[in-house]
Structure 1
């Protein structure tokens, strides 16, 4: 049985990427520092994935185990030496922290085999594998880097599956939506994995996903929070919120259509499908969960600022995206550390300085001016104006 090392034993790792590998006949070693989850994986070696659908599917996952990277790094190195795939679903900010251990694993591996290994960061960030590769290379010497040629392949990917807050009786079980998409960019002939789609150029697909699914999800959360909604599907029952979410991802859609040549009618169908997914009551997803980490989501390369900048460059509208950025600045959920930090920065520096430091906008930037304009409207007025 072929081996896979997957960093991140959380709900996305177990419910999406790791599950697909296990269903495809691989043995999956989940690497994490969550002691309870790692212990449960090693004790049970199985868990259940259920789909949040009218006709719920129940999938039993076998051939899994866990390694605690904090207490057993040597086991991780050994597992990397045997793996055909090394994947992550751990969060893009964590990639630099796991890179040195991956580098050690690859170094040891290259000392005893020239079998190919494929490294794929399955994160909600454009070209996350490039970031991981850069950090791994920092920890390698020139001789090892030369050995990697033709043996170690870093492949970018785009992933799409909603995994809501969990309320399961069993620790390892995961509830996921029935829709999934995993696209990997390469011209190589990869070992087969269920659900993996291979394309020669990832950019159109990853931007389509990030600027429709992630932008739309965040928009629903931030406008829903302003309107006092608790759940994503409940927020979209509000006609004002629904129309604003749709208008926002139609702005990103106008950019995607012009940039990548997507057919307008096909992209409109994609938008409708995304909105339909968000309205699934079985996901029962919290507005506060989806809205968490506003500092990251307001970053210059992320789901709100980047499409607004690209739209501006092409002479396309960005007003609804600016409105959502303003709503994100109002996200003051006290149980989210980034939301708390954002509110502190707003109090200490003011909105214009935050837009500069967090989003990369200069004060005279037309997008920044539009965000400031919406920021000073109270709560539900963000939906109306």
Structure 2
């Protein structure tokens, strides 16, 4: 151990090596004061470093805590994903309602059930930016955190534990996650009927009607509907989406009605401006979209119908047309076929036709039996 003067610093500095690690630390003792005071401060610092080394050695053979595991997962993986902001919010929920000082090999189902109960008892966050929106939110009935929100917290915790087990060989507890997660409501099964779709196409807002036509014909999420003209290939009748929710590019085949609509919009833009729309120009008009969509819902009296239900309309109509689930999975860009299986209950028209044919055959068989019995008499 030695004390030395560091250029530019008004304090004595300590240089010491402990267990093969070299430390250079300021003693915070001014150079103007006697050196013996700096030695006393240095001895105190050495004692602290030795204590920290002992604690680190003691913990070396133990599993990480939940907090350490979440931190490692966040730093090395989660913070680099598109969902980083949302994941950070879930981590804050875990830190607030779960004892994150628990070691990952000592985590129990009872602790997670307590976390689930605590989260379900919290009020749901109401996001509102403007003063009027905050006033409207305050007038709505109070809502508690949903089961799906709590399950998302648990899913990220499970992902973090799996990560530290796979990458850092941490011994995590074996837990029945499927039993721990809260029971959620049945998935939505709302899609537009043909009458509702026809009504949407007949509205006064022609721009919104065109967006709805494209949404139902392609099955794309609203985030992938911000088309620009450079994405459209009218000759090849396709639109190229550079990045879907699954982080993959996708080429969508455009149906004849959508191609005709796009040609009409390009011709209208040409007539209005005197030039063909540039590649960076947006195909659709999205200004005041939420207000226009809310007005459409009110005008057509659409009951429990959301924008995302247009995507469900695509999936349901495709399934009824006889598209099998693996093909529908690729068309809808689902990462997991379990998501596509929500359409498994939809009976294709061919299946319904099969039942009708069997019923007709049964009727013929019954009629033939009656005729045969009359002849025997």
TM range (shorter): under 0.3
TM-score computed with the length of structure 2 as normaliser: 0.24
Structure exhibiting the larger radius of gyration computed from Cα positions:
2
The answer to which structure, 1 or 2, has the higher relative contact order (CA under 8 A, 6+ apart) is 1
Bigger proportion of residues as helix: 2
The structure where strand makes up a greater share of residues is 1
